[in-house]
Structure 1
């Protein structure tokens, strides 16, 4: 089974000459620079996005809740499941938007975790083109192998992945807190030198 068989994949909106500024913007645009691949809690800072006027556009390409946004350029093709998204946000051409087909039994959350797995990431990197920067095409992404597993097994995997993700975030907070404690110790030592 392949991703293109169970999901619709569309490209982000193309801006040929950059994102035009507008006095009356209607939409915000996600660009590669707005996407933090190392941040799982809030990988997109919605309030920092460039704004433009797309009110005359014939096609509404706004992102929706339950979409999967995946990076098409760079060594890491990180995917995020949009459990919430502000209104009138579009992604530029450096992203793909993935949605399981209506007749598919695949959950969006499972697909997002699967796309971020080291095996899927390795496959995408190995099959990407570009000599200067790794770029994933829609055609290649649609060929990504997908395991044929039941909805109940997908649900168990998503629950386990959510649990692991929460645990990792808690450990990261603890590490940050401990580093601040050490910084405070050395900060106090530094003050004794003055």
Structure 2
């Protein structure tokens, strides 16, 4: 089975001349600079997004809960499951928005983990174009193979991945705390020697 069999893929909104900031904004726009690929806890700083006026737009391309946002440009095609989204937020042309079809039994959370897995990332890397900057087209992304597994297996994978993610975050916090302790030791030595 391929991604287009189980999901609708649409491109982000194109801004030909940049994103004009507005004094009376109607929408916020996610750009590559707003997407922290290293932060699984909070990859998008919603309050820092550029605000613009899209009053004249006839297309509703607002992000919705259960969408999966994926980076289309760059070496890592990071995906994020949107379990909550502020009102009136759009993604720019450097992203694809993936929505699982309503008649398909596939968890968007599972899809996020699958897309971020090494096999799917390798497939996207191998099938991306561009000599200067790697990018994947909508047509190519739609061909990505997706496993056909039961709801129970999907849920097990999601629970395991969530558990691993939490454990990694706890270890990272512990490491940061230990680094701050070491820093404090050297700071106190520095002050004593002056």
Same fold (TM over 0.5): yes
Q: Which residue of 1 aligns with 2:122?
A: 122
Distance in 2 of aligned mates of 1:21 and 1:185: 46
Residues paired across the two proteins, number: 194
2:98 counterpart residue number: 98
Could you tell me which runs of 5 or more consecutive residues in structure 2 were left unpaired when the two chains were aligned: none
Q: 1:29-40, aligned counterparts within 5 Å?
A: 29-40=29-40
Structure 2 partner of 1:46: 46
Whole-Å Cα distance in 1 between the matches of residues 173 and 38 of structure 2? 14
Match of 1:158 in 2: 158
Q: Who is 1:170 aligned against?
A: 170
Aligned mates of 2:5, 2:92 — CA distance in 1:
24
Q: Select between 15-24 and 31-40 the one with higher mean Cα deviation.
A: 15-24
CA separation in 2, counterparts of 1:107 and 1:136? 23
Map 1:55-94 onto structure 2 (within 5 A).
55-94=55-94
- For each residue in 1:31-65, what CA deviation from the matched residue of structure 2 results, as whole angstroms up to 9, or x when unmatched? 00110101111111111111110122111111111
TM-score relative to the length of structure 2: 0.99
Deviations 1:3-54 (A, max 9, x none): 0111000000000110112221100000001101011111111111111101
Cα distance in 2, alignment partners of residues 61 and 6 from structure 1: 20
RMSD: 0.6
Q: Are 2:111 and 1:145 equivalent residues in the alignment?
A: no
Distance 1:66 1:5 in 2: 17
CA distance in 2 between partners of 1:28 and 1:178 (Å):
38
Distance 2:41 2:149 in 1: 28
Counterpart CA distance in 2 for 1:20 and 1:192 is: 53
Per-residue CA deviations over 1:79-127 (Å, capped at 9, x if unaligned) read 0001111111000000000011111111100000000001111110110
